[in-house]
Amino acid sequence: MPKRRYKFDSKEKAWIREKIWLPVVKREVDEIHKANNKDSVRYFTFCGPLAFDIELLVVDHKMIKENDVVTWEKDEKARKSAKRKFPWLNIEPIQFDSLWTTTLANTKHRFDFDIINLDFTCRPFRNASGEMSHELLGIRELFRRQRISSKSFHLFLTFNANYDPLAHDGNLSLTRVIYDHARRFGFHEGYFRLATKGVEDNHHLYILEALPSIIIRFGYESAYSVSCIFKCFYVPHDRPTRHPCMVSFVFKCEWTNPPLSLADSQRWGGEVGWQHSEQLKRDQLTALKLPIVNVNFTMRQKKKIKK
């Protein structure tokens, strides 16, 4: 009988944790050791009910110390369940997307993480009060807070990529990013698909195209040079019925150490992204050209080779 899979425990998600997240964390740890630095890797995540990422990185591989993990979890049941599994876990009942509305003085946590894992279950483009979803606004705010510590970091980002016909504003924002790419980069594949079929068909491909440009732009606004180093999609088989299509990314966010004479002194970084607009364009283009990994397909191929 096949092993019972819990929520967020699909083989596909386990593949991402082990093959993508774990090596990135290992590289961070190695770099810190090489620099002969006494620091350790600080990790921010949403733990979910069974905290599989924490189990892998902290408990099994001992890459991160227990005290260096901060987790926010909006769901009470998930918090209780994770706490039962790991009683030492520092879990805050905070909703990440509230970050963009809270002032700096109101946040207890200093954002000086080496790895930030935003493992969302929602879609990135939704109806919102303004142009952008609260999750995206939260990510923009995250860069602003992280830059106070001047720390470079890796951002793991996961979203649901199923099409939602009711998310008119979200779908419109997504369409506008694709048109913007066509205009600035002459990038035609997505544009033609969009013009003939709309964003409904192969919705995940539009998100894989648009999201990196947005994240790279947010980073530049806060004096981070951001490169997208991995992007994939997968259909997780962890539930008997519902199988959403998910997208997942890894971004390397390097603090550019801007001269303070160019920066907005209030925020020690300012909108220096404008100073690098050619660089910004190059990084967005590189992210557009980065090959997309189909995790389900890759796993099937590996199985065939083993046989």
Question: Contact residues for ligand SAM (CB under 6 A)?
Answer: 8, 45-48, 50-53, 72-75, 78, 95-97, 119-121
The residues near 216 (Cβ < 8 Å, ≥ 6 apart) are 226, 227, 228, 251, 280, 283, 284, 287
Give the separation between CA 72 and CA 80, rounded to whole angstroms. Answer: 12
Q: Whose Cβ is closer to ligand SAM: residue 51's or residue 226's?
A: 51
Taking the complex as a whole, the smallest distance from the CB of residue 249 to ligand SAM amounts, in Å, to 14
Q: Whose Cβ is closer to ligand SAM: residue 13's or residue 181's?
A: 13
Taking the complex as a whole, the smallest distance from the CB of residue 83 to ligand SAM amounts, in Å, to 13
β-pairing, 43-45 vs 69-72, is parallel
Q: Whose Cβ is closer to ligand SAM: residue 97's or residue 209's?
A: 97
Structure tokens at 160: 């649901």
Taking the complex as a whole, the smallest distance from the CB of residue 56 to ligand SAM amounts, in Å, to 8
Q: Whose Cβ is closer to ligand SAM: residue 16's or residue 205's?
A: 16
Taking the complex as a whole, the smallest distance from the CB of residue 8 to ligand SAM amounts, in Å, to 4
Taking the complex as a whole, the smallest distance from the CB of residue 71 to ligand SAM amounts, in Å, to 8
Give the full edge-to-edge strand order of the sheet including 69-72: 91-92, 69-72, 43-45, 115-119, 153-160, 246-255, 224-234, 293-294
Query: Which residue, among 182, 291, 301, has the nearest Cα to 231 in the 3D structure?
Result: 291
Taking the complex as a whole, the smallest distance from the CB of residue 20 to ligand SAM amounts, in Å, to 12
Q: Whose Cβ is closer to ligand SAM: residue 12's or residue 119's?
A: 119
Q: How many residues does the chain have?
A: 307
To which H or E segment does residue 189 belong?
A: helix 188-197
Taking the complex as a whole, the smallest distance from the CB of residue 96 to ligand SAM amounts, in Å, to 4
What sign does the CA torsion over 103, 141, 117, 7 have? positive
Q: Please count the CA atoms within 13 angstroms of the CA of 215 that sit on its side-chain side.
A: 29
Q: Whose Cβ is closer to ligand SAM: residue 78's or residue 178's?
A: 78
Q: Which residue is nearest to ligand SAM (CB)?
A: 48
DSSP one-letter string for 110-169: ----SEEEEE--S-SS---SSSS-HHHHHHHHHHHHHGGGT--EEEEEEEE----TT-HH
Taking the complex as a whole, the smallest distance from the CB of residue 306 to ligand SAM amounts, in Å, to 25
Give the separation between CA 193 and CA 187, rounded to whole angstroms. Answer: 11
Q: Whose Cβ is closer to ligand SAM: residue 159's or residue 224's?
A: 159
Q: Whose Cβ is closer to ligand SAM: residue 93's or residue 198's?
A: 93
Distances (CA, A) of 192 to 163, 182, 186: 18, 9, 11
